[in-house]
Structure 1
Amino acid sequence: MNKRTTAKVSLVAIGAIAISVTAIIAGCIEVEEPKLTTITLGYQPSTHHVAAMVAVEKGWLKEDLARLGIEYVDIKVFPTGPPMMTAMMAGELDIAYVGLAPPVAALYRGLDARVVAAVNNEGSALVIRPELVEEYEKVGLPAVLAGKRVATFPPGSIQHTVLTRWLREHGMCPVADMDMKAMGPAPARTAIAADEVDAVFLPSPSPAMLEIAGDGVIVLWSEDIMPGYICCGIVASGRMIREHPEIVKQIIRTHINATRWVEENPAEAAEIFVKTVGGDVATVKRSFEIWDGSFIVDPHLGVESALIYADVIFEINREEFEAHGIEPLTKEDIFDTSFYDAIRIG
């Protein structure tokens, strides 16, 4: 072996040793989470998400996350769930308080995120114009909706998914048998008050607001449409889950504390809701008194409901999904319960 060959072998050997030593050292050093100073959190103007509003108003979210280096929490309010998932898919939203159906619908289309906590069950109602009450008493539900204009949240939302499932179970097609209109809560309330739609299916506090204003009559709560279903949860982006797990875990802790506070202080929670979103305190307090929902935090409770939503959304889009080889989502596709489980065990 000549000197040049010997030199090459020596350099290779030295390089190999250097790589090995680097690997050993790296294996002994705990890898830190990438630096993050701002997160974006979204919710909707519904009492379903009042725990988020309380956490912000009380300063708990800011204080809890500051210990992890977060200097600013950017709050964004969305009218419904589908645009929240559009924002998350675009990298514009890190954490979302949202119905479970929108992330399910978005996961079918490539959303990188998981449900990490639960927020509430049920909590929506079908409201009809007062002029339709006599017809409703004669023909009942859902027959009174035949040929009518019905407003609810857009396709892919929890309200649209739950209502569609119920109509189909009763032999009605939401496309052929009625004029289903996609609207957010404020436009839908305005539309039924102006006789531009005949019925709405909306989350609280909208049903109470319409009834108190004399613009509608509550004829069916969501517990009778899909008993026991879990409505909303907290969704974390895949980036937050992979790169900032401690922040995700703290957000869930803060959510748990805020939820407990809401349950113990509904009157003050109503005041915070009005301060945040607007409206009348007495009406929001009344909404808390009459709604069929309750506040929860355990994501395991949402699994059965989410899988039903996954099936409903798959059936609605079966032809398209099957053409692209897309199969129904599983629990693992939708949930990451590890954060909540760690908090519960700890």
Structure 2
Amino acid sequence: MSHRRQFLSALALAVSFLATPAAFAQNKPLRVGWVFAMANAPAVIAEQKRFFAEEGLNVEIKSFGDGPVLQQALAAGELDVAYVGAPPIYQWFSRGLDARILAKVNYGQAAIIANNASAIKSVADLRGKRLASVAKGSGMDVLLRGFILKQQGKLDPDKDLDIQTIPPGNMNAALDRNVVDAAFLWEPFVSQALLRGNSRLVLDLNLALPQYPWYVVMAPASTLKERPADVIKLLRAHRRAIAFLQSNPAESDKIIAQAFNLESVQTADGKTLQGETIVHEARKRLGWSDKLETRDLQFIQQLMDYSLELGFINRPLKVDQVVDLSYWQKATSAK
């Protein structure tokens, strides 16, 4: 057989293989969405350090401004896996989106801050005050109303204070201009405010709820059925990214600062602090872990109960309905 005929025969065989459904599925990218938040840094690290690729996984990564926009992409079948807050997942589940929480992403991140000159020293002091926060019914709002205000402050969220919806990036300015008396926000906004020197902590939620989970890795039931091996590969890459964040803080802080375009902060005494310093400060309230502990599952159940009480879901749910740790267990076992 001539070289030309050999080449054409091999080419035809390759085209035939690639045309099969199994081969197509094997080469199809896993579409991964993530909420654009510092706490979801493992998604950034796994991509930039090529942990996804080293696990043999072809991925398409896309960031979203918030959970509701990401949910629309999930509902439309445009994503296979997502890094998103736990509350949206069980809220979507209650409305018919069959999906599962697979692993933890982070712990901590949220805090209440007030202007240095404010008389607010505790959550209870928010009575009669104006508090900047996020949209009612969102995951962070569940945390604020259910745990912080009702449980910690013994306050009625709808009667005892004025909760004003303000974009997180504008909350510090609202504090400076006395538009609000305090703000409930998360990293990096908390650290930016503290490093500027004009605000102080009223409540570090990670002290009140040590290592409470927030962002998680989730997947629709269809992904778990059709691509279980790829889900396990993703969770292995996710685990490696978290190990990198923990063992290489300086390099990972630089990657995070660049990925989130963190602008420098001017302190009260005129110093300029770069993005890596903001990330370093944020680590005091924010950390990363992939393992969902028993206490984490209890916390997610607590959030579900708050959501039902607040009217954000219309039926009781149990945590084992929306959590499946079997894929994480396979990912963390020996290959």
Partner residue of 1:272 out of 229, 250, 255:
255
How much has 1:54 moved relative to structure 2?
A: 0.9
CA contact (8 A) 2:82 2:219 kept: yes
Partner residue of 2:184 out of 189, 194, 201:
201
1:332 aligns with 2:320: yes
Q: Distance in 1 between matches of 2:182 and 2:215?
A: 23
| Identity between Structure 1 and Structure 2 (%) | 25
Between 116-125 and 41-50, the greater mean CA deviation after superposition? 41-50
Q: Distance in 2 between matches of 1:43 and 1:190?
A: 27
| Mapping of residues 235-314 of structure 1, within 5 Å | 235-279=218-262, 280-288=275-283, 290-291=284-285, 293-301=286-294, 302-314=296-308
CA contact (8 A) 1:119 1:296 kept: yes
Q: Distance in 2 between matches of 1:34 and 1:112?
A: 25
Q: Distance in 1 between matches of 2:217 and 2:169?
A: 23
CA contact (8 A) 2:104 2:289 kept: yes
1:104 aligns with 2:94: no
1:159 aligns with 2:154: no
Match of 1:74?
A: 61
Distance 1:155 1:245, change over 3 A: farther
Q: Distance in 1 between matches of 2:246 and 2:84?
A: 19
CA contact (8 A) 2:253 2:279 kept: yes
| Mapping of residues 91-170 of structure 1, within 5 Å | 91-132=77-118, 135-136=119-120, 140-165=121-146, 166-169=148-151, 170=153
How much has 1:107 moved relative to structure 2?
A: 1.6
CA contact (8 A) 2:86 2:139 kept: yes
Uncovered stretches (5+) of structure 2, i.e. residues with no partner: 1-20, 263-274
Report the TM-score when normalising by structure 2.
Answer: 0.80
After superposition, the CA RMSD in angstroms is 2.4
What do residues 252-309 of structure 1 show as CA deviations (whole Å, max 9, x unaligned)?
0000000000001112111111111111222222222x22x43211134431111111
Which residue identity does 1:146 align to in structure 2?
R
Distance 1:34 1:87, change over 3 A: same
Q: Distance in 2 between matches of 1:267 and 1:159?
A: 29
Distance 1:153 1:34, change over 3 A: farther
How much has 1:314 moved relative to structure 2?
A: 0.9
Match of 1:48?
A: 39
In terms of fraction of residues, the more helix-rich structure is: 1
What do residues 48-95 of structure 1 show as CA deviations (whole Å, max 9, x unaligned)?
11111111222222443xx35x3x5132232x3343334322323332
Which residue identity does 2:291 align to in structure 1?
D
Which structure: larger Rg? Answer: 1
Distance 1:152 1:91, change over 3 A: farther
Q: Distance in 2 between matches of 1:284 and 1:300?
A: 25
Uncovered stretches (5+) of structure 1, i.e. residues with no partner: 1-30
Distance 1:246 1:191, change over 3 A: farther
Which residue identity does 1:37 align to in structure 2?
K
SS at match of 1:150: strand
